[in-house]
Structure 1
Amino acid sequence: MENRRNFLKKSASAAAFSLVADWASAMPTYDKLGETLPQRQLIRNGEKVTSFCLGGYHLGLTEDPKEAEKMVERSMELGVRFFDNARRYNNGRSEEYMGKFLTPKYRDQIFLMSKAPARTGKGVQQQLDESLKALKTDYLDLWQIHTFTTPQDVDNRLRDGVLDVFLEAKEKGKTRYLGFTGHQNPKTHLYFLNKLDELGIEFDTCQMPLNVCDPSFESFQHEVLPVLNKKGYGVIAMKTMAGGSMMGGRIDTTPQDIRTKDIPDVVAKTELTHANLHQYVYSLPVSSLCSGCRFTYELEENVKVLKDFKKLSVEDMDRLVNYAKPYAGLIVENYKRVFA
């Protein structure tokens, strides 16, 4: 493990840097397929990704491959070049759809990430092999330890070899970069970051919930985001609409495992608009906003928000937070947990 630690440490930039310098950029870029969405820096070496990332979970909700293909093609047409996934999303169907419709045509034009939720080294190794096979690729651009829940969960996964497998995967070229995710409590993220510091290791990215409710309850924005920015991590925002809960937990968009009864429709009950939910997050120092889209019209609406984006003032951001504040907590942010 010591050699892998040294490998990661040497691969990180020795000079301090900040993602904040270009986080508000809204300028489009181009590749051989045409215009892409505006990009922001994700990796310490300067590598950028499109500011909008298509979430993989919702892609696999449909049983109709033609629907999935349509979503992939429309994403590419609109300039999306960053794609999210995870092993076991829809029992592997989400990765299989991308392996069928995305990577065979567009592998060289996209930044592809997936995530492994297993809690043992053997488990994540198997999931990496399964992900690569399903996605029909020899390597991932980003592989993330998926859904840390508690500090004890962090300790258990480190004890059971998860980190070793991740470091080895990067060393062997199975993934270019490493990251981690979680949505239950900011204390867990800070705990893992401290563990990495103790081991002399730096990961590249972190994916976590950021939205207008978050600053008012167990806040990732207040507690974790400044630490990640200081350490030079790429920050991937998720749950910008609280997994659909800000619209009342719609059956067609909110994952069943976090859907709760009687969720208030925050957008309908306040002066918030759907566009505000993404504008707020784009105004934070994040690298990309990852959002799942069940239908192509939702994708088109999300892309339009980014293309029209102008950084919100502090006053405007505070105003949006105040609109959402009465609804912050475990009913709308039902993916969070409180622990000592």
Structure 2
Amino acid sequence: MADVERRGEMPYRILGRTGEKVSAIGIGGWHLGLPKVDEKLGIRIVRDAIDRGINFMDNCWDYNEGLSELRMGKALRDGYRQKAFLMTKIDGRTKKEAARQLEHSLERLQTDCIDLVQHHEILRFEDPNRIFSEDGAQAALLEAQKAGKLRYIGFTGHKDPRIHLYMLEVARENGFTFDAVQLPLNLMDAHFRSFSRLVLPELVKDGIGVLAMKTLANGSILKSKTVSAIECLHYALHLPTSVVITGVDSMAILDQAFEAARTFKPFPDAELQALLARTREAAARGQYEPFKTSSIYDGTAVNPKWLGEEPPELQALMMQD
């Protein structure tokens, strides 16, 4: 995706059909609440990132039991909120639970309106049906959008590209097109259960903003000793992404993100193929993408209550059995 301008040290791109200008790299919210990141450092990471040109801020209702959103909210005081494109995610599948979680996020983030709210962890084939049911989470987000509490709607997931495709299909059946979709895009994904091959072309075709995540797979890809962190970030920037979201838990890692943006140039085809060839064998079984092959990263699997109750009509059917 072509850069449209630079702000400070950061190139900017367009977030799909929204027309919003967003930094090519965004700050991942999960790391801001880790035990090794104290509040002072978390706030400094966000503010330094914004001062240097990053405007896209990722977060989620469930990250670190709300601590990540609380820290983001504090960091965005003193005029920083106006400089940020703020995104968060909710896990609720029911209208009631989604609305409850959204209100928590608004309060923690200390804002009246979130720029982008996403249905989080679309990991199961039943998730789209629950979200788009009459009393599902999508109804809550559409009502919140109408009330001015959020601007755009998207979804995320990290398990299987076919589930992403099904979510897009169910949305179309309901007359809805997402504004953004978040998905794993990395040098291992290119070879195994590939989001870049199956989902990315559909998003580009429909003008949906592409949010890359798991670019380094929380460091797992580096353990393969096939590629560097900068090469991983460059690969995601090479794809037609609007934003490459990266976790930052230190000022050194923030510098790394800016270095990747500063030094990025689209890969000539021969160089890209050589890079993919280096990762092909290591990627074959998905061992460096554990979010696809295990439940380690599945927060909603460990906490099913986050999703909300099953629809009453289904509960009634179960009782009849």
Q: Which amino acid aligns with 2:110?
A: K
Counterpart of 1:93 (choices 53, 64, 67) is 67
Deviations 1:123-158 (A, max 9, x none): 111110000000000000000000100212222333
Q: Which amino acid aligns with 1:233?
A: I
CA distance in 2, matches of 1:287, 1:115: 18
Counterpart of 2:24 (choices 15, 38, 51) is 51
Deviation, 1:73, is 2.4
Task: Could you tell me which runs of 5 or more consecutive residues in structure 2 were left unpaired when the two chains were aligned.
Answer: 295-321
Deviation, 1:104, is 4.1
Q: Which amino acid aligns with 2:99?
A: Q
Deviation, 1:69, is 1.8
Q: Which amino acid aligns with 2:282?
A: Y
Q: Which amino acid aligns with 1:237?
A: A
- Whether the 8 Å contact between 1:103 and 1:135 is mirrored in structure 2 is no
CA distance in 1, matches of 2:162, 2:77: 36
TM-score normalised to the size of structure 2?
Answer: 0.87
Q: How does 1:196-211 map to 2 (within 5 A)?
A: 196-211=171-186
- Whether the 8 Å contact between 1:36 and 1:50 is mirrored in structure 2 is no
Aligned counterpart, 1:24: 2
Instruction: Check 1:320–1:189 CA distance in 2 against 1; reply closer, same or farther (3 A cut).
Output: same
Q: Which amino acid aligns with 1:55?
A: G
2:136 is the counterpart of 1:161:
yes
Q: How does 1:163-242 map to 2 (within 5 A)?
A: 163-242=138-217
- Whether the 8 Å contact between 1:96 and 1:134 is mirrored in structure 2 is yes
- Whether the 8 Å contact between 1:50 and 1:288 is mirrored in structure 2 is yes
- Whether the 8 Å contact between 2:132 and 2:174 is mirrored in structure 1 is no
Q: Provide the identity percentage.
A: 38
Deviation, 1:167, is 1.4
- Whether the 8 Å contact between 1:43 and 1:205 is mirrored in structure 2 is yes
CA distance in 2, matches of 1:45, 1:72: 24
Counterpart of 1:335 (choices 291, 302, 307) is 291
Deviation, 1:43, is 3.7
CA distance in 1, matches of 2:90, 2:111: 16
CA distance in 1, matches of 2:4, 2:129: 40
2:24 is the counterpart of 1:68:
no
CA distance in 2, matches of 1:184, 1:327: 19
Task: Could you tell me which runs of 5 or more consecutive residues in structure 1 were left unpaired when the two chains were aligned.
Answer: 1-22, 30-34, 248-264
Q: Which amino acid aligns with 2:65?
A: N
Count of matched residue pairs: 291
Q: Which amino acid aligns with 1:131?
A: S
- Whether the 8 Å contact between 2:98 and 2:140 is mirrored in structure 1 is yes
Instruction: Check 1:286–1:133 CA distance in 2 against 1; reply closer, same or farther (3 A cut).
Output: same
Deviation, 1:74, is 1.8
Runs of 4+ in 1 over 6 A off after TM superposition: none
Q: How does 1:252-263 map to 2 (within 5 A)?
A: none
CA distance in 1, matches of 2:143, 2:77: 24
- Whether the 8 Å contact between 2:73 and 2:109 is mirrored in structure 1 is yes
Deviation, 1:321, is 1.4
2:90 is the counterpart of 1:116:
yes
Deviation, 1:319, is 1.4
Deviation, 1:26, is 7.2
Counterpart of 1:296 (choices 236, 251, 254) is 251
Root mean square deviation of aligned Cα: 1.6
**Partner SS for 1:332:** coil
2:240 is the counterpart of 1:285:
yes
- Whether the 8 Å contact between 2:14 and 2:22 is mirrored in structure 1 is yes
**Partner SS for 1:180:** strand
TM-score normalised to the size of structure 1?
Answer: 0.82
Deviation, 1:173, is 1.1
**Partner SS for 1:136:** coil
Instruction: Check 1:26–1:101 CA distance in 2 against 1; reply closer, same or farther (3 A cut).
Output: same
